[in-house]
Amino acid sequence: MRALISVSDKTGVVDFAKNLKALGWEVIATGGTMKLLRESGVEVLNISDVTGFPEICDGRVKTLHPAVHGGLLARRDVEEHVEALRVNGIEFIDLVCVNLYPFRQTIAKEGVTLAEAIENIDIGGPSMLRSAAKNFRDVTVVCDPADYAAILDEMRAEGNTSVETRLRLSAKAYTHTAEYDSMIATYMRAQAGLPEKLFLDFDLVQSLRYGENPHQTAKFYRSAEEVPFSLAHARQLNGKELSYNNIQDANAALNIVREFDEPFCVGLKHMNPCGAAVGRDVVEAWTKAYEADKVSIFGGIVAVNREVTREAAERMKPIFLEIIMAPKFSEGALEVLCTKKNLRLLEVDMTRSDVHPMQYVSVNGGLLAQELDVETKRVEASMTVTKARPDAAQLRDLEFAWRIVKHVKSNAIVVVKGGQTLGVGAGQMNRIGSAEIALKEAQAKGATEGLVMASDGFFPFDDCVTLAAANGVAAIVQPGGSVRDEDSIRKADETGVAMLFTGMRHFKH
């Protein structure tokens, strides 16, 4: 029995080769793998001894030879194949152990050049994997060091791997080469400016109990590349398994947290913020967010952008929450919160990044792709379009409200005072309906003056300004851009309301 070993990831390969030798296998190796094995006392054949041809072109050509691929692809049950190998002096190769040049790691390096990337495109490796995988009825193909132990155990017990094992390993090898090729294709197409194809690479995290509703099946996948503010790469410290709706809601909460540098907390239900606030620290931010809507936060999701302390945990514990997310939990906080066995605690990387991640949304028979809406204009006094101008405190609240309203389902209206949401109007078919909801919520909390309002889209009529002025709103921020902007500006001037146009809208459908 013959094995050919050629690996970039050399984890466990010495022990694997030694055990194959102990089982009576002859081992062939290439380049760096051969050097390592020989230095480790493993007797191996050089690939050139098998092909009768030296490695050429700086090692670019060494395994692309009939002596390799004939030995892999020939079917043992086809007489003509066996005879062809005999006539040409080619021996069977019964196992291939190959993993590929580190292309992903190469292109992830800062400042990597196209030439460097190209030199890390493996040619011979994928070819051997595909040949061996195609002939899985006779050949064992290994591309993952995690499989070494199980393969050796089966060989010791049965003399060789089973056809069922080889089929599974074949599927794994084809997956490995497909991922590798799609990664290269994505990179090369980006270099060439070709957008016609989209290749996605996601790994299964878990099968979910059900989807949005109990009759729907669902799975959760994550991208191979780790990104900040990602639930897929979060670390769960406590609680039961996440559900489909938990994941959707938690993702929405993380996108809101991304907006803020100062201590911030948001409570979220059904992908809309029900309470959000900034504070001097995480305790004050939590307290203000909770008090913004004590009813809706029941059974909700909370995200903060600071370490959860014991004091914050003690204030959160009495409230029924599904999830708490933070960049870190103190030991004291874990002692308090882990007593609630079902409460999910998730540590999430909240590192700032200039990368604009892509967002994918499936539609029937298609896929929409866009950059995530991570840019938010800072609200400045120079954006004022009315005679009245916001004071410093109102300007801070307008900035806060503007960063919240972009994450509320359109048509969206948010009412704020003192760095705290007091009313949220979401997902109505007209903007005045959302404004009525948000202002009614604010009134129910006794907030009747000095409020600010944010709208994710422009006002098509002056009715929202009229309603806002009658309910204690002193300043409004909106994108502007309506053909009737002058009507809203005129109404704001009549009522003494300051209004600012950002020139940027944030629809969230």
- 157 token code pair: 């017990």
Longest Cα–Cα distance in the chain? 99
In this structure, are residues 276 and 421 in contact, taking their beta carbons and an 8 Å threshold? yes
Distance (Å, whole) CA 204 – CA 360: 17
DSSP state of 88: T
Point out the catalytic residue in the list 10, 270, 317, 445.
270
- 121 token code pair: 């495109």
Q: Residue 134 catalytic?
A: yes
DSSP code string of 207-255: EES-SSSTTS-EEEEEESS--SS-STT-EEEESSPPPHHHHHHHHHHHH
Tell me the pairing of strands 358-363 and 366-371.
antiparallel
3-state secondary structure 107-143: HHCCCCCHHHHHHCCCCHHHHHHHHHHHCCCCCEEEC
DSSP state of 429: S
Tell me the pairing of strands 300-304 and 2-7.
unpaired
3-state secondary structure 486-499: HHHHHHHHHHCCEE
Which one, of 217, 250, 498, lies nearest residue 383 by Cα? 498
In this structure, are residues 473 and 464 in contact, taking their beta carbons and an 8 Å threshold? no
Residue for token pair 């050509």: 61
Distance (Å, whole) CA 269 – CA 275: 9
Q: Which residue type does 481 have?
A: G
Distance (Å, whole) CA 178 – CA 185: 10
Distance (Å, whole) CA 265 – CA 257: 7
Point out the catalytic residue in the list 18, 134, 172, 317.
134
Distance (Å, whole) CA 35 – CA 29: 9
3-state secondary structure 257-326: HCCCCCCEEEEEECCEEEEEEECCCHHHHHHHHHHHCCCCCCCEEEEECCCECHHHHHHHCCCCEEEEEE
Q: Residue 509 catalytic?
A: no
Catalytic residues: 134, 270
